[in-house]
Amino acid sequence: MRKIELEIVALSHSITQTHSYAIVLGEVNGLRRLPIVIGGFEAQAIAVALEKMQPSRPLTHDLMKNFLNAFNVDLQEIIISNLQEGIFYSKLICSSQEDVVEIDSRTSDALALAVRFGCPIFTYENILDNAGILLEDSAMKKEKKPVSTEKSNENLQSLSLEDLNTLLKDVLDQEDYIRAISIRDEINQRKKKS
The whole domain housing 163 covers 156-193
CA 107/CA 113 separation, integer angstroms: 10
91-148 per-position pLDDT tens digit? 999 999 999 999 999 999 999 999 999 999 999 999 998 888 887 654 444 454 444 4
Looking at residue 38, what DSSP letter applies?
Answer: E
CA 89/CA 22 separation, integer angstroms: 16
pLDDT of residue 144: 42
Q: Does residue 113 share a domain with residue 19?
A: yes
pLDDT of residue 118: 96
For a pLDDT cut of 90, what percent of the chain falls above it? 44
| β-sheet with 87-95: strand ranges across | 100-106, 87-95, 74-84, 121-124, 3-13, 20-27, 32-39, 133-134
Q: Are strands 121-124 and 74-84 parallel, antiparallel or unpaired?
A: parallel
Please check whether residue 148 lies inside any domain of the structure: no
Look over the chain and give the mean of its residue pLDDT values, rounded to a whole number.
Answer: 84
CA 175/CA 16 separation, integer angstroms: 25
Q: Does residue 100 share a domain with residue 169?
A: no
Q: How many domains does the chain have?
A: 2
Please check whether residue 71 lies inside any domain of the structure: yes
pLDDT of residue 122: 98
Q: Does residue 121 share a domain with residue 68?
A: yes
Query: Phi/psi of residue 56, each to 5°?
Result: -65, -30
pLDDT of residue 80: 98
In tens digits, the chain (194 residues) has pLDDT values of: 889 999 999 888 766 666 788 898 999 999 899 989 898 889 989 998 988 888 888 889 999 999 999 999 999 999 999 999 889 999 999 999 999 999 999 999 999 999 999 999 999 999 998 888 887 654 444 454 444 444 433 578 888 888 888 887 777 666 666 676 677 777 877 887 77
pLDDT of residue 169: 76
Q: Does residue 118 share a domain with residue 85?
A: yes
pLDDT of residue 54: 83
Please check whether residue 187 lies inside any domain of the structure: yes
pLDDT of residue 27: 94
Q: Does residue 89 share a domain with residue 166?
A: no
Please check whether residue 42 lies inside any domain of the structure: yes
Q: Does residue 171 share a domain with residue 138?
A: no
Q: Residue 104: beta bridge partners?
A: 91
Q: Does residue 177 share a domain with residue 136?
A: no
Q: Does residue 162 share a domain with residue 116?
A: no
Q: Does residue 176 share a domain with residue 82?
A: no
Helices of type H across the chain: 40-50, 60-70, 107-117, 125-131, 137-142, 161-173, 177-193
pLDDT of residue 16: 62
CATH code, domain with 107: 3.10.690.10
Whether pTM > 0.85 for this model: the answer is no
Q: Does residue 168 share a domain with residue 138?
A: no
Looking at residue 135, what DSSP letter applies?
Answer: P
Please check whether residue 150 lies inside any domain of the structure: no
Q: Residue 116: beta bridge partners?
A: none
Please check whether residue 73 lies inside any domain of the structure: yes
